[in-house]
Amino acid sequence: HHWVIQVVTYKDEEDAKKMHGILRYDYDAYIKFFPKNKYYSVRLGPYTNKDEALKDQQKVNSKFHVKSKIIKISQPAN
């Protein structure tokens, strides 16, 4: 299994792009769009090791004052 960190979600694509732009300097960041609910999820990963994901989650939460979530995925996004 792999894990990703969902850092934040936005309705506005520009907000998602701004956060992605900041995160991508230190992390493997990407944006996933959910057309059904019309929101943009800014994510980090994928991680093959859950402990690594947890470590980065703690760093991101304290640095950006967010409540990120770790999500288990079966297949990493390309």
Write the pLDDT tens digit of every residue in 4-58.
999 999 999 999 999 999 999 999 999 999 999 999 999 999 999 999 999 999 9
- Name the domain count of the chain: 1
CATH of the domain at 47: 3.30.70.1070
pLDDT value at residue 1: 85
Higher local confidence (pLDDT), 66 or 74 = 66
pLDDT value at residue 62: 98
Whether 78 is in a domain gets the answer: no
pLDDT value at residue 75: 73
pLDDT value at residue 74: 87
Q: Which residues constitute the domain of residue 37?
A: 2-73
Whether 21 is in a domain gets the answer: yes
Q: Tell me how far apart the alpha carbons of residues 12 and 39 are, in angstroms, rounded to a whole number.
A: 7
